[in-house]
């Protein structure tokens, strides 16, 4: 679990993605081997062996990885481009930079900060941004900078401009930890990094606001939470992870919300960890999770 420890030094993660065809696994494995890599784990998926899409995640150890990265990347380009395959290679000793956007609720926010402090999330957290100030002291007690960007009134453009200024160039992805503002399409166009959201229902049930109230009204026997990448279609982005908890007729909407909080923080944490570990590949409106 010591994700920041020396064990990940000289460890690379390679993602390969493109049209399936015979010999990809052999080509990639040979490439790793001739670049002095030792494969630690390997996952693959093909949407269809015949003319489907192929996805692969390979983790390998390689002494002096940082120095070797340019040569490996050149080899990847030379080997995989002719096959029409896209690839990304990451040095696992370099943590991703994760910003967290929050509102008044603290359950998802604190869970991420605490898991990070335990060394379970391979990220740095350069900033938490909230449109409220109630969590500032807690956030800073974890040694993480807190910025307050209020978001009142119907025109969010000033707030979004301030968000962009803070995020620009400083982060690799953004987590919306129960951030109760809808981000504009313009913001999403300009932010330039993936955003991960937690929706407090089992999507596609109860899209939109007040899902716990709707769940109570429908009389469901399970409530859920869904973590997904943010797209311009609200609550319609690719799902990364979901989970549920059992409820009964005796639970009020407030009870559902209280119980749901524990599902939300668990689901979001798993989605964030998997994203940070390069386990999630987006494919249209789906995700491949290795």
What DSSP character marks residue 22? T
**By the rule CB under 8 A, 61 interacts with a copy of itself:** yes
Query: Of the listed 10, 20, 235, 278, which one is catalytic?
Result: 235
Task: Please state, as a whole number, how many other Cβ atoms lie within 10 Å of the Cβ of residue 234.
Answer: 14
Residues in Cβ contact with 218 at an 8 Å cutoff, skipping those fewer than 6 apart: none
Name the helix (H) or strand (E) containing 139.
helix 136-141
Residue 245 contacts a copy of itself per CB under 8 A: no
Contact flag: residue 120 with a copy of itself (CB under 8 A): yes
Please identify, using beta-carbon distances, which residue of 152 and 248 lies nearer to a copy of itself: 248
Residue 220 binds a copy of itself, judged by CB under 8 A: yes
Residue of 5, 33, 88, 133 that binds a copy of itself (CB under 8 A): 33
Cis peptide before 204 (omega within 30 of 0): yes
- Angle at the Cα of 193 (from 192 to 198), degrees rounded to 5? 130
| Residues 6+ positions from 65 with CB-CB distance below 8 Å | 9, 10, 11, 12, 91, 93
Between 9 and 28, how does the x/- string for binding to a copy of itself read (CB under 8 A)?
-------------xxxxx-x
In the bound state with a copy of itself, the residue whose beta carbon lies nearer, of 108 and 167, is 108
**By rule CB under 8 A, what count of residues binds a copy of itself?**
65
Selected from 173, 202, 212, 274, the binder of a copy of itself by CB under 8 A is 202
Q: Is residue 144 involved in binding a copy of itself (CB under 8 A)? A: no
> From the CB of 176, what's the least distance to a copy of itself, in Å?
19
Q: Does 51 bind a copy of itself (CB under 8 A)?
A: no
Over the range 158-186, which residues count as b (16 or more CB within 10 Å of their CB) and which as e? ebbebbeebbeeebbbbbbbbbebebeee
With CB under 8 A as the contact rule, the residue among 4, 9, 18, 42 that binds a copy of itself is 42
Q: Is 53 a catalytic residue?
A: no
- Residue 157 burial by Cβ neighbours in a 10 Å radius (0-12, 13-18, 19+): exposed
What H or E segment, with its residue span, contains residue 113?
A: helix 107-117
Q: Which of 129, 242, 273, 278 binds a copy of itself (CB under 8 A)?
A: 242
Cα first-last separation, the chain: 17
DSSP for 228-241 reads: EE--SSTT-SPEEE
Q: Is 202 helix (H, G, I), strand (E, B) or coil?
A: coil
Tokens 């807690």: give the residue: 138
Q: Which stretch binds a copy of itself (CB under 8 A): 73-81, 167-175, 184-192, 237-245?
A: 237-245
Tokens of 262: 């524990």
| Least Cβ distance, residue 43 to a copy of itself (angstroms) | 8
- Cβ proximity to a copy of itself: between 55 and 187 the closer is 55
Report the catalytic residues. Answer: 235
Question: Which chain residues interact with a copy of itself by CB under 8 A?
Answer: 1-2, 22-26, 28-30, 32-33, 36-46, 49, 61, 107, 110, 114, 118, 120, 137-138, 141, 202-206, 218-222, 224, 238-244, 248-250, 254-255, 257-258, 262, 266, 285-289
């Amino acid at each position: 679990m010591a994700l920041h420890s020396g064990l990940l030094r000289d460890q690379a993660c390679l993602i390969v993605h493109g049209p399936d065809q015979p010999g990809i696994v052999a080509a990639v494995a040979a490439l790793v081997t001739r670049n002095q890599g030792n494969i630690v784990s390997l996952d693959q998926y093909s949407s269809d062996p015949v003319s489907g899409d192929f996805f692969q995640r390979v983790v390998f150890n390689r002494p002096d990885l940082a120095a070797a990265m340019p040569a490996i990347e050149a080899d990847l380009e030379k080997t995989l481009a002719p096959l029409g395959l896209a690839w990304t290679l990451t040095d696992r000793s370099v943590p991703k930079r994760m910003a967290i956007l929050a509102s008044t609720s603290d359950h998802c926010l604190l869970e991420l900060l605490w898991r990070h402090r335990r060394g379970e999330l391979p990220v740095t957290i350069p900033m938490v941004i909230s449109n409220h100030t109630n969590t500032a002291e807690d956030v800073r007690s974890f040694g993480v900078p807190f910025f307050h960007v209020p978001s009142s009134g119907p025109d969010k453009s000033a707030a979004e401009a301030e968000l962009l200024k803070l995020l620009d160039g400083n982060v690799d992805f953004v987590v919306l930890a129960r951030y109760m503002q809808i981000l504009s399409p313009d913001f999403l166009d300009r932010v330039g990094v993936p955003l991960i959201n937690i929706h407090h229902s089992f999507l596609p049930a109860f899209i939109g606001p007040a899902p716990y109230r709707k769940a109570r009204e429908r009389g469901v026997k399970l409530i859920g939470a869904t973590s997904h990448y943010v797209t311009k279609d609200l609550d319609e982005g690719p799902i990364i992870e979901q989970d549920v908890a059992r409820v009964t007729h005796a639970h009020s909407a407030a009870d559902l919300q209280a119980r749901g909080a524990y599902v939300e923080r668990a689901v979001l944490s798993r989605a964030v960890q998997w994203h940070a570990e390069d386990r999630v590949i987006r494919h249209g409106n789906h995700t491949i999770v290795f």
